Structure formats: structure tokens, C-alpha cells
Amino acid sequence: MENFFLKNLGDLDIGELIRANSVVVGLDVGDKTIGISVSDQRIRIATGVRVIGRSGMAEKDSQLLAKYLSSYKVGLIILGWPVQMNGLPGEQCMKVLDFMKKLLIFFPVNYAKWDERFSTKVVDKIMIQAGLSRKKREKLIDKTAAAYILQGALDFFNKNSLSTNNLDS
């Protein structure tokens, strides 16, 4: 199951997603919340859309997320991949992978992972510089981190995809 659905981002055809009018979803899966972001249909711009609180039961959380995502034409889900500072997957990566396996039951699309090191810290720093209060940052941090993660993947996707060069602007 993992090999079929967990794809290498560089091996995916962005043109296929665009022609299908699909969007790409970014997830920042944490122990307490899941930040959700969605791309535009041209697969260029990520927008943070929602935060779902975790219940502590992955199956229940997966069902709730799948229900929410069913309102979009999702072609791919990018998972924030919380590798350790040495670049190796740790305990948090295994939690994200376990969650993906549950979500896959209710939402069978292709998944890819994207290194999310420092995403929350970078987003928090930007919001501090923008003058947002702690309370406002707490409300926005997870979906904004999900958008930051997704935007990084979209930028990589667009830069490295040959098929985008053949599409009309």
C-alpha cells in the first residue's frame, strides 16, 4: 500500500493534475491539530484553509478530514514530513505515516512527503514581524504552516516539472 500511494514528488506529472482541474492539499499533521492548505487549480499557489483538532483517535480524525477534503477535487496530498535535524525520519514521521495509512482508507489518492523542518518556526516569526498577537498567531499557525509546506512543494513541483512548460499560461 505504502509504495503505491506514497510517491516521490519528482516523479509526478503536474500537467496531469492541471488538466484534471485537480488541487493539491497540504497537511501539517500534529499531535493536537491538523493544518490544511489547498492549491489553486493551476497548482501554483497554496492557501491555508482550516485547522482540525485531533481527537486522539486516528481513525476518527481521518474520517473527519476525508469528509472535509471530499468538497475538493484532490489529485495529490502533500504531507509535512517532520524529519529530525540530521535528515532522518524519527518518531513524528512514523506518526504522520501511520495517520496517512488511516486516511488512505477513507481518502484513496496519491500522497507525497515534503520536509517540514522549521516550517512552524518560520511562519511564527513572519507573523510576529507582521505584528500579529499571540492569540491571533495561535489561531492561524497550523493552517499557515500547512500552506508554507505546500507552497514549498508546489515551487519544487513547478520548477522541476517538464510538463508545465507545455501548458498555456
Distance CA 43, CA 58 (A): 28
Residue 29 lies in a domain: yes
CATH number at residue 114: 3.30.420.140
The tens digit of pLDDT for each residue in 121-161 reads 999 999 999 999 999 999 999 999 999 999 999 999 888 76
Concatenated DSSP letters for 43-71?
Answer: S--EEEEEEEE--S-HHHHHHHHHHHHTT
How many domains is the chain built from?
1
Contact in structure between 166 and 15 (CB atoms under 8 Å): yes
Instruction: Return the residue matching grid coordinates 489518492.
Output: 109
Residue 22 lies in a domain: yes
The tens digit of pLDDT for each residue in 99-117 reads 999 999 999 999 999 999 8
pTM for the whole thing?
0.89
Q: Integer distance in angstroms from the first to the last C-alpha of the chain?
A: 36
CA angle in degrees (0–180, nearest 5) for 146-62-80: 25
Task: Note down the domain range covering 60.
Answer: 2-159
